[in-house]
Chains A and B, each alone.
Chain A
Amino acid sequence: MTIITVNVPTLKKVKNTLIGSPTAKVSLARDEELIATIVNCVNNPHLQLADEPQSSRDDIRIEAAHVIASLSYGGSAALRTLMRVNAPDAFLFAISRIRSTEPPALKAAITRAFRAMAAALADTVGPSQWGLRTNNFDMRNDAKITLDYIFQSAALDVLLPLLCDPNPQVIISAAQFVASAVRTQAHRAAVSEWLPPSERTKEIKGKRGWEKPGVTKSPSRQGGWVVRVLTSLLHRNNAKLQEAALSALASLAKDNQSVALTLARAPPEGGATLSTVLSLCKLRFVDLQLAACICATNVIRSAHPGHTSTTDHAAALSVMYVVNRLIASDSETPQTRTKACFTLFSLVSDDKELCKLAYDRGSLSKLASLVKAITPLERSVEWEEDEPESISRLREAALTTVAAISLFDDDIRCEVTGTLKLIPAIQVSLSHQHLGVRYAACQCVRAISRSVAVLRTNIVDTGLGMSVYQLFQKQNEDRRITYAASAVICNLVNDCSPLRPLLLERGVLERLVELLHSGDAGLRLNALWAIKNLLYKGSSGLKRKVMDAVKWPELVNLLTDIDPETQEQAFHVLRHIADGPEDVELIFQEMGKDVLLNCLARAMESDHDDVLLQAVCVLANIANSLSHQGAILSSARILENLRSCLFDAKVEVRRPAVSCVLELVRANPRSHKELHDAGIDSTLRHICEYSGGGISVSPTRRFLAGAHMGLEDDWEVKEKAKEALHWLERNAEVDMSI
């Protein structure tokens, strides 16, 4: 514990020792008392610096702020100490008390330090902004509490007005705060919906229902106060300011449709902000270009989630042009290229058309060249030990983006393995010491293994599949890697995969069951998915083997799980088992008729279409087994549900439903009575008599209505309904005549 006199020379010495040296920061972090004293200089000068004249008080406070700012870059040890001495709170208080008569440098220094602390907190709490980070569980809770406090209205009342400060340095810090600390939807909403106190009363007054929207001067128009201010900053002639504003807008627009739409749409008075952003992509400074690209990306993807339009594509192309250039450029720093990769990833991920667009623009080949340039063909200890972290992160970024682009299209996947020859690099990355690199490599294998051709050839021949399997089996591996590997296993156990028998031999079943009980929702779901794939077109022997490992009571639990996704997979498992009349007997034996029927009936009443679909498919498979049809017919509840499926569900459900009915009547003449009691015969009649013929019903109407307005327009359903009705009526006649 050092006791130093706090003055400008001593503080400068501390500052200069700290800046640039992570070791010095960790060392200082142990001296909680000193840090508390330094913090106190900033927020409690009247007490701490009572003996100092005013001018040197200001200088001392400035240097103290610089020390704290530097400490914030010192990792978790330093952050822990800062939280323990309540530094964030203290600085917030200090900011709120700064008078306009005090020197601008003071406010700038304190705001900068606060921003640095907030960014460190957000990095600890997550989610990470650039790639995977190692988790710091013990600190996370405390950091979260502190961060949540910062986003409360009272704190924002102090921080957000800084965006209008006369000093550009202060504005930059405030905007950077928004950019780096806003990561969750709750915080995003808090900032984008925030209004200065003066405008809050105006807002209430402005919302008279009978006034036309747009006429009101309601401040929450145009995306909110913060968005408006940030947008105006884009037109200032200060590159750092523009960059900070762009980054802040990017954070606010991410996954936030209302902000994104505001920025994308052109207001009556002028051009859309998005156009301004895109023009900034072309300016000289790389950091500015990147910030503009990220902002544009978030706006494009969040404005119309799920369906990007052609205007979105035009904007996306502008971004792609810039990021492609940065990715391909050897003269850019690894950090720049990493951000460019992740920006491209955000732009195209989960959007088939954007992926294709990027591919057409040459993104994939540039990424491949990058990966191959920084990845040796064979593993070596020196390579891993001496590799700078920045290069590992770059590889992670590039591979992650390769995986995203290759997710949908077979041609693209085949190019990854073929012309681009990326498999050796992916292979060697699977065992890299850097967490993110392993994760990204798994994602690549997952993407390419979706191609049957690749699954049958490269994945096997190169040993890539078995390498992932090794990773999958690893006990003390990070859960996120196991999860990523499990997604690959789902593909590797498909019936078309040559690796299925080998994996079974090597214990994949035991591992999957282990993950089923792991308590991790994601792992559980993927394990179930893999088991489902394993059972598809499997022999009876295989089905028995799988269920011996999974155990029937466990399956019953999963069939009645509260999570609909789990339920859906569980029923899908059952559906695959039931695919074969001999195996239906197995189900009845092991589950028992009552349990089975109960599960099915409940599932058929589910609000979730996916669960309903699988349950009906199970039913249809059971109906294929003559000896078990009686069980179905004995349950009035199931028959009732079946009837409503016939006309009230989407076509993917109606088809198996009508197949089920057809099987019941065709093979089982006596079934007509139960079916009549359930009203199925009249429903069939309805379908046949009011079939749509040549009229095509618009898909959106059907989607919205569920029912098809009394018109059956699916040919398969119509035909089967007709046939079923024919049998039904015949059976009824025959029965009557006996």
Chain B
Amino acid sequence: MPPPKVTILQEEWERRLHEVHVSKQDLNRLVMDYLVIEGYKSAAEEFSQEAGINSSVDFDSIESRMNIREALQRGDVSDAITKVNDLNPEILDTNPALYFRLQQQKLIEYIRQGRIEEALQFAQEELAPRGEESPEFLSELEKTMALLAFESSPQAPPTISELLSPAQRMRTAGEVNAAILESLSQGKEAKLVSLLRLLCWGESLLEERAEFPKLDLNDGTFSREGK
């Protein structure tokens, strides 16, 4: 028989939390790390001055990443590719999946703008060879070609139409950002995000043995009822 769960009241919980010492410096570093990884250059610069901490990362590289992200978010994939190659010509040559993702995004942008002729030509000249070189891209390619067939009509199934959503652009942008960070040997993920992950894992472990206030991830408060 498993032992009965220990109950920890809200007051007690908050008292224990208070006793854990987290330095202001650590908190600042977490914020700085988040701003750098996510590419908020001016915010990072200002925060660096105000909090008096230096990042080991040079802010110019943040700017490059930010520019690339912006290019992708406004649908200018060619510009993004040029900028990635300027920043580090090694990345797209050694990461075929990423290059394909960018080419795919380019095709999606053609379709979104209704430039069907160019889309077809581009698919034939650029994407078909990718599919031939690496069969694993074929299914994604087929999905994108299906989009062409539906010509952004509302009857397209959700898996196809989601290619046109902003989420797709963000996904591509995120993958490019991660690849650049990795090439610079910086973390791919903000430490804050990893910490949250660790927190959720810790909560699920503790839950087997105790009743306690859980963190509400939406507003950062503690409640007994939890998730």
Contacts and interface: CB of A to CB of B under 8 A. Distances in A.
Interface in B129-151: 129-130, 133-136, 138-139
B134 A70 contact: no
A385 B135 contact: yes
Interface string A47-67: 000000000000000000010
Nearest to A18: B93
A338 B82 CA distance: 31
A23 B133 contact: yes
B135 A20 contact: no
Contacts of B134: 388-389
Contact of B90 (A112, A288, A388): A112
A16 B99 contact: no
Nearest to A113: B89
A284 interface: yes
Given A16-B81, A389-B134, A70 B185 contact: no
Contact of B82 (A12, A112, A288, A391): A12
A475 interface: no
A386 interface: yes
B96 interface: yes
Contacts of A386: 135-136, 138-139
Nearest to B96: A20
A499 to B, nearest CB: 37
Interface residues of B, number: 24
A272 B136 CA distance: 45
Nearest to B82: A16
Contacts of B185: 238-240, 243, 285, 288
A19 B135 contact: no
B118 interface: no
A388 B99 contact: no
A20 B99 contact: yes
Contacts of B92: 19-20
Interface string B174-194: 000000000011010000000
Contacts of A19: 81, 85, 89, 92-93, 99
Chain B contact residues, majority secondary structure: helix
B128 to A, nearest CB: 9
A455 to B, nearest CB: 38
B153 interface: no
A388 B135 contact: yes
A194 interface: no
A284 B187 contact: yes
Nearest to B102: A20
A22 B187 CA distance: 29
Nearest to A65: B89
- Which of A23, A112, A385 has the largest number of chain B CB atoms within 10 A? A23
A290 interface: no
A571 interface: no
B85 A16 contact: yes
A122 B179 CA distance: 27
A112 B103 CA distance: 26
Interface string B101-133: 011000000000000000000000010011001
B94 interface: yes
A16 B126 CA distance: 13
A388 B136 contact: yes
Interface in A675-723: none
B135 to A, nearest CB: 5
Contacts of B187: 284
Contacts of B85: 15-16, 19, 66
A240 B183 CA distance: 8
Interface in B46-85: 81-82, 85
A698 to B, nearest CB: 54
- Which of B85, B89, B102, B187 has the largest number of chain A CB atoms within 10 A? B89
Contacts of B102: 20
A386 B142 CA distance: 13
B126 A21 contact: yes
Nearest to B94: A73
B80 to A, nearest CB: 11
A510 interface: no
A15 B89 contact: yes
Contacts of B103: 20
B197 to A, nearest CB: 12
Nearest to B84: A19
A297 B139 CA distance: 39
Contacts of B126: 21
A387 B93 contact: no
A21 B135 contact: no
A79 interface: no
Contacts of B129: 21-23
A436 B168 CA distance: 36
A285 B186 CA distance: 9
A22 B132 CA distance: 11
Contacts of B139: 386
Interface in A50-105: 66, 69-70, 73
Interface in A15-46: 15-16, 19-23
Contacts of A385: 135
Interface string B193-206: 00000000000000
Contacts of A285: 185
B118 to A, nearest CB: 17
Contacts of A390: 136
A479 B214 CA distance: 63
B135 A70 contact: no
Contacts of B136: 386-388, 390-391
- Which of B81, B93, B185 has the largest number of chain A CB atoms within 10 A? B93
B76 to A, nearest CB: 14
Nearest to B137: A388
A160 B201 CA distance: 48
Contacts of A69: 89-90, 93
A69 B96 CA distance: 16
Interface string A311-325: 000000000000000
Contacts of A12: 82
Contacts of A112: 90
A19 B138 CA distance: 20
Contacts of A284: 187
- Which of A19, A20, A240, A243 has the largest number of chain B CB atoms within 10 A? A20
Contacts of A66: 85, 89
A70 B133 contact: no
Contacts of B99: 19-21
A22 B89 contact: no
A681 B133 CA distance: 77
B81 to A, nearest CB: 6
Interface string A136-178: 0000000000000000000000000000000000000000000
Interface of A: 12, 15-16, 19-23, 66, 69-70, 73, 112, 238-240, 243, 284-285, 288, 385-391
Interface of B: 81-82, 85, 89-90, 92-94, 96, 99, 102-103, 126, 129-130, 133-136, 138-139, 184-185, 187
Given A16-B82, A22-B129, A240-B185, 16 more contacts: A12-B82, A15-B89, A19-B85, A19-B92, A20-B96, A20-B103, A21-B99, A21-B130, A23-B129, A66-B89, A69-B90, A69-B93, A284-B187, A386-B135, A388-B136, A389-B134
10 contacts: A16-B81, A19-B85, A19-B99, A21-B126, A66-B89, A238-B185, A386-B135, A386-B138, A388-B134, A391-B136
